[in-house]
Structure 1
Amino acid sequence: MQNTISDRIADFLKKYPPFSYLQLEELQAFTPEITIVYKEKDSIVFERDSKPHLFFYVVHQGAIGLIRKEDGIILDICDEGDIFGLRPLMANENYRLQAKAQEETILYAIPISLFKPIVKQNMDVGSFLVESFASNTRNPYSNTHKGQLLGDSVQFNPNNTGSRLLDVQPVEFSTKITSAKPGTAIQTIAKKMSKKGIGAMLIEKDGLPVGIITDKDFRNKVVTGIVPITAKAKVVMSSPVITYPTNLTITQAQMAMMKSGISHLVLTQDGTPNTKAIGILSKHDIMLSLGNNPSVLVKATRRCKHVDELAPIKKGVMNLLKGYLEQNIPMSLTSKIISELNDACTKQVIRLSLKQMDTPPPVDFAWLAMGSQGRSEQLLHTDQDNALLFASVSEAQMKVTRDYFLRLAKLITKGLHEIGYAFCPADMMASNPKWCLSIDEFKRATSKWITNPGPDEVLLSAIFFDYNIVYGNKELTDDLSSHIFATVAHYPMFLTHLASGALQNPSPSGFFRKFLLEQDGAHKDFFDLKRRALMPLIDAARVLILSHQVKGISNTWQRYEKLALLEPNNAELYLSCSYASKALLKFRTRQGLLHNDSGRYISLEKLNKEERMKLKRTFSSIKDIQEVLAVRFMTSIVR
């Protein structure tokens, strides 16, 4: 007899992560063991420091507050579909917070003994719990808790990335399937293939794939006279058809073709011939996907003789980025590879621009990427932020030298615009004389910002101080960096102003964790992911790393990882900020690719439960790091 209550529980859980990653049959296997718990308002589910129950909980209706008992502060509110009380069970430790019903609440108590094997076996479930863990800990992005979650740590080996990434890089395939029935004349099929310019024809019966005819079949069976041209498709086709799921990687596709000695794979809904065909994958498709491999793209970049030849390579970089996100490659590795490819394109634009100049550069120079590109965090096509730094020259040579580099900078910024990098609306580009300066001029400018830090100077510092050399003489940038750090050391009050500026970004959430949306303008009722979530973390990392006089690290999460080493007492917070900054950048990148924009403004209505949950999990890290800035740099004295 069917257990209707158990079925209703399974149907409910299936709507929410991480249960949504499981098949309904998998859920139904353990839902009969789930207990339904009713809690009146203000009743306690568990107390702090108490031993963990044999269950963790999912909120069916109502709300559960996770409370820091010493001061009664509600650190988290778990509502419909949220999980709580799981981490202590996985980590074998007592509860760290009190769980209290904020209203009448119905809970599902799930036995940990049934769920733990699922976490171990299902990568998607484990990844979700690592990334957005709704447990009784204030900081779900804690590196310590993340490590304790599964009892195992999965490491991604960054060595030999060229071949390693082929193991995870998805292959693009054609979804435009041309099919015929087994009784169709092969002459008809040949004419249709020729007209459409395709190399394979899928043979289907009752909507399911039963065979495939390729150019090779015509050459080997028909042209040789083995099979007459009047024969039917079922005589010539290769059958049974070899099928695979759609999430094949390049390596898997290559191995499948080599194993069976074929040139086409049929991709179906479940990877078997028993479901509808989704696409056909050819050797040509694999070659195109190989063309999006990082090492291949870098070589192709260096071979470009004209700027317009770089545009399709940039498209290949975007395809690579999409694939890495789909395969859940660690953000640190994804960012590193995409940033190096972006830098390779910029370098080639500079080389091609230099060739257009009448003479070689009069003195050494360095091209600086600023902002997100300087931090190696520019994954999408955003606008340009760059500067050109050249060696000192005499007063008599200054005008001629500056004119040369301004002409060069205009060629470079124009070339970058042509391949997809929009001009900076604020004109913070090397083609602007304000950002095309000698080393001495940049030293004077940065000294002014540091010693007289008004709002404009703080804003300029926040953008410029994330610079990274892309092309040219590194000694020039090293000299400038040494000057900046020495000046900051003599004027520590600048850090207070910089910290105060970092606290100007509005809070991401209001009372009870509600998202704070834009109130007016073109993006009214949208969530500003950049200003409310990413920038507070980026700005805080910049201030803190400057205060420690650490040179050569501009990437946000690398700054936090360095800070964790420098301040062991705050390592937990810094590592959580590192993790949160990567999670937010991944989220923004996915949204940007999905909507073909910068990913900055998010419509919450278009986010599912899992996406909203993951986004909210970063907010506690933002709040905590801003509290550190306010206290450490006494920002109240400059407000």
Structure 2
Amino acid sequence: MKNSIAERIADFLIVHPPFSNLSHDELIEVASEIRVLNLEKNKTLFQINDLLHESFYVVASGVINLSIISDAEETLLNKCVAGDILGLRPFFAKNNYMMTAKAREESVIYAIPIDVFRPFVAKNTNVLDFLLQSFASTSTNPVERSSGKLLNDSVRHIDNQSEIQYFQSLDYNKNPLTSTPNAIVQNVAQIMTDNLIGCVIIQENNLPIGIVTDTDLRAKIATGRFYITTLVSNIMSSPVITVPENLSLAEAQLFMLRHNVTHLCVTIDGSDKTEIKGVISQQDIISAQANNPGILIKEIKRAQNQDELKRLREKLADFIRTSFDKKIPLSHINTIAGEVNMAIIKRSIDLAILEMGSPPARFAWLSIGSQGRKEQLLLTDQDSILVFEDVASDKYRDVKEYFLKLSKKVTATLETVGYAYCPFGHMASNQLWCKSLTDWKNQYSNWMNTPGEKSDEICSIFFDYELAFGEIQLEEALTEHIFRNAEKNKKFFAFLGTDSLKKPAPLSFFKQFILEEEGEYKDRFDIKTRALMPLVDAARVLVISQNIKGINNTFLRFKQLAITEPKYSEVYMNAAEAFITLSKFRTHEGLKDGTTGQYINLEEISKSDKEKLKNALLPMKDLEEIIKNKFQLTYFT
């Protein structure tokens, strides 16, 4: 007799990596052992310093906040939504959890026993690859962490800031010291000393059979266990752990963690049956970490003025360019750049508060638009709002005045750093966008309940926001208000849906690109307005209508929509991939010309790239039909 619960769980897991790499029978085997946990709002799944659980977790529904405590203040690091994995630390580490996982709303969690899933990691290379790419340690005593959306409890912190690890190819010693097994330890030790290198690969016919490190010399020679005249074969560690060429930093650290070693031997195919190509040491990893975004975030937190922040933002630009050239997945680059941009905003606010003194009330600085969606790879304008807690009426004016002054200092700093002022004034320094929680609730109520009456006021980017600084409770209160107003609000969705369809068409009736007809960008293709923004707008209105909270990024919104509405899953997945493809074109153009990348010179791209660009526009028609049918667009059309 079939286990209907296990079947339903398996059907859910099959669309999410790494479970998508398992067969149906394997998934049923895993699902049969899963415990289903129901977490009420604010219920904790695990917290900092808790002993490791025997299971890791997958969010089935709801949102789980991952946070740390810094100076008695809770700092949100990430939000996990349906399909996201958290609690992977027990796979590879023995120390306790490093952050807290708490339900932001009523949530359902699948608890998957580590012992049940471990065999599938061992025998399925795709599953193993997923974990390898999802983890990296960030200290000399390796501790794993995960990539992209899997930023979770495994992350290491520097000064309580999340360190985002860069999965680049690792530079290592390609001319390692080698020795034969019958060499004398004294001679080998002298060679190591002369070359200032901490290990020697022991080889026969250039195939690795062992390794001698500084640790071996201390533990086996200095203690008197072996004479210094003994053969190296007597003290070498064997077998040596071998890895393939072009290993990433994350993979190298994970191999060291799994095998409890400080050196890895690089061979042609990663086995001890092929030629030695080099050696990776912990020092190589330390050197690589000195250039990673985590260190950049650490430097940003310590920056003392806007000039330092500007220099660090330029480092981010270099990182983005290098990552793009190395074909790092754009979604991963977006995640990292988003974290660094947020760190710059946070430090700008810190500096302003240090200058002005403590705020008179609690507040939240929300980045909106592309910054709020964490889609700002290129230098574009800044968009933000400020929400402060409700205060007594006699204090309101003074409180608002303080926050306006604060915001003007912050936006001025960000402008110096390289983020231009918003030409439409959508910034916290504008008195329209700096107000109390109740005023903001009233603002959103007016936008949502009487859309179109003051069409010059409503701007859809105000529904894309991310907490950059301050009290998460204020952001959550605003979010709850918006989603309550959205319930059965046909007029609002009709307006927002129609607005999403108003962008100018990218292609003519004959499927030719529609180019700018005049001005500075004459004969260029406006990829932002004609291609990217229709996808951004469509994703926004659809996630709000589906009551999907906590996901602002357009790519991730479409991925979640594919899960939430299976009948449209193909359209949504195509839209997600289209968004990434179009973003790559824009980023390439921007990096090439040092611009925002909004206008593409089609004469400079190949015929095949033109076809790729044109194909990325195809999902828009299907999205239009979904939006028209779903929202019955009769109010404003």
TM-score normalized by structure 1?
A: 0.57
What is the alpha-carbon distance in structure 2 between the residues aligned to residue 546 and residue 458 of structure 1?
A: 22
Equivalent in the alignment of 1:489 = 487
Matches within 5 A, 1:72-87: none
Does structure 2 conserve the Cα–Cα contact (< 8 Å) formed by 1:292 and 1:316? no
**Deviation sequence 1:92-117 (CA, Å, 0-9, x none):** xxxxxxxxxxxxxxxxxxxxxxxxxx
Does structure 2 conserve the Cα–Cα contact (< 8 Å) formed by 1:353 and 1:408? yes
The residue identity in structure 2 corresponding to 1:484 is I
What is the alpha-carbon distance in structure 2 between the residues aligned to residue 392 and residue 167 of structure 1?
A: 44
SS of structure 1 residue aligned to 2:487: helix
Matched, 1:333 2:309: no
Equivalent in the alignment of 2:349 = 350
Rate the CA distance shift 1:167–1:490 in 2: closer, same or farther, 3 A: closer
Does structure 2 conserve the Cα–Cα contact (< 8 Å) formed by 1:375 and 1:467? yes
Q: What is the aligned length?
A: 392
Equivalent in the alignment of 1:243 = none
Alpha-carbon deviation of 1:512? 3.6
SS of structure 1 residue aligned to 2:134: coil
Equivalent in the alignment of 2:397 = 399
What is the alpha-carbon distance in structure 1 between the residues aligned to residue 582 and residue 473 of structure 2?
A: 34
Matched, 1:301 2:303: no
The residue identity in structure 2 corresponding to 1:533 is A
Equivalent in the alignment of 1:579 = 577
Matched, 1:389 2:365: no
The residue identity in structure 2 corresponding to 1:336 is T
**Deviation sequence 1:145-164 (CA, Å, 0-9, x none):** xxxxxx98985723227599
**Deviation sequence 1:12-48 (CA, Å, 0-9, x none):** xxxxxxxxxxxxxxxxxxxxxxxxxxxxxxxxxxxxx
Equivalent in the alignment of 2:630 = 632
SS of structure 2 residue aligned to 1:525: coil
Equivalent in the alignment of 1:168 = 168
SS of structure 1 residue aligned to 2:458: helix
Matched, 1:596 2:594: yes
Does structure 2 conserve the Cα–Cα contact (< 8 Å) formed by 1:158 and 1:333? no
Rate the CA distance shift 1:520–1:286 in 2: closer, same or farther, 3 A: farther
Equivalent in the alignment of 1:157 = 133
* Residues 608-617 or 406-415, more deviating: 608-617
Equivalent in the alignment of 2:315 = 316
The residue identity in structure 2 corresponding to 1:310 is L
**Aligned residues with identical type, % of pairs:** 38
Does structure 2 conserve the Cα–Cα contact (< 8 Å) formed by 1:458 and 1:497? no
What is the alpha-carbon distance in structure 2 between the residues aligned to residue 382 and residue 286 of structure 1?
A: 34
The residue identity in structure 2 corresponding to 1:343 is M
Gaps of 5+ in 2: 1-124, 139-143, 148-164, 172-245, 254-262, 266-283
Cα RMSD after superposing both structures: 3.3
Structure showing greater relative contact order (alpha-carbon pairs closer than 8 Å, 6 or more residues apart): 1
Specify the structure having the higher radius of gyration (Cα). 1
SS of structure 1 residue aligned to 2:331: helix
Matched, 1:369 2:345: no
Rate the CA distance shift 1:170–1:349 in 2: closer, same or farther, 3 A: farther
Aligned pair partner of 2:426 in 425, 428, 434: 428
Alpha-carbon deviation of 1:250? 8.1
Alpha-carbon deviation of 1:520? 2.5
Alpha-carbon deviation of 1:611? 2.3
Matched, 1:547 2:523: no
Rate the CA distance shift 1:437–1:252 in 2: closer, same or farther, 3 A: closer
Does structure 2 conserve the Cα–Cα contact (< 8 Å) formed by 1:169 and 1:323? no
**Deviation sequence 1:496-543 (CA, Å, 0-9, x none):** 010001000011112342111122233221100001100011000111
Rate the CA distance shift 1:614–1:161 in 2: closer, same or farther, 3 A: farther
Aligned pair partner of 2:535 in 525, 534, 537: 537
Aligned pair partner of 1:446 in 444, 462, 479: 444
The residue identity in structure 2 corresponding to 1:330 is P
Rate the CA distance shift 1:454–1:582 in 2: closer, same or farther, 3 A: same
What is the alpha-carbon distance in structure 2 between the residues aligned to residue 356 and residue 500 of structure 1?
A: 45
Alpha-carbon deviation of 1:613? 2.1
What is the alpha-carbon distance in structure 2 between the residues aligned to residue 384 and residue 345 of structure 1?
A: 12
The residue identity in structure 1 corresponding to 2:569 is A
What is the alpha-carbon distance in structure 2 between the residues aligned to residue 552 and residue 389 of structure 1?
A: 18
What is the alpha-carbon distance in structure 2 between the residues aligned to residue 397 and residue 490 of structure 1?
A: 37
What is the alpha-carbon distance in structure 2 between the residues aligned to residue 573 and residue 250 of structure 1?
A: 35
What is the alpha-carbon distance in structure 1 between the residues aligned to residue 557 and residue 453 of structure 2?
A: 24
Alpha-carbon deviation of 1:403? 0.4
TM-score normalized by structure 2?
A: 0.57
SS of structure 2 residue aligned to 1:334: helix
What is the alpha-carbon distance in structure 2 between the residues aligned to residue 612 and residue 565 of structure 1?
A: 31
SS of structure 1 residue aligned to 2:374: coil
Does structure 2 conserve the Cα–Cα contact (< 8 Å) formed by 1:458 and 1:498? no
What is the alpha-carbon distance in structure 1 between the residues aligned to residue 635 and residue 337 of structure 2?
A: 41
Alpha-carbon deviation of 1:638? 1.5
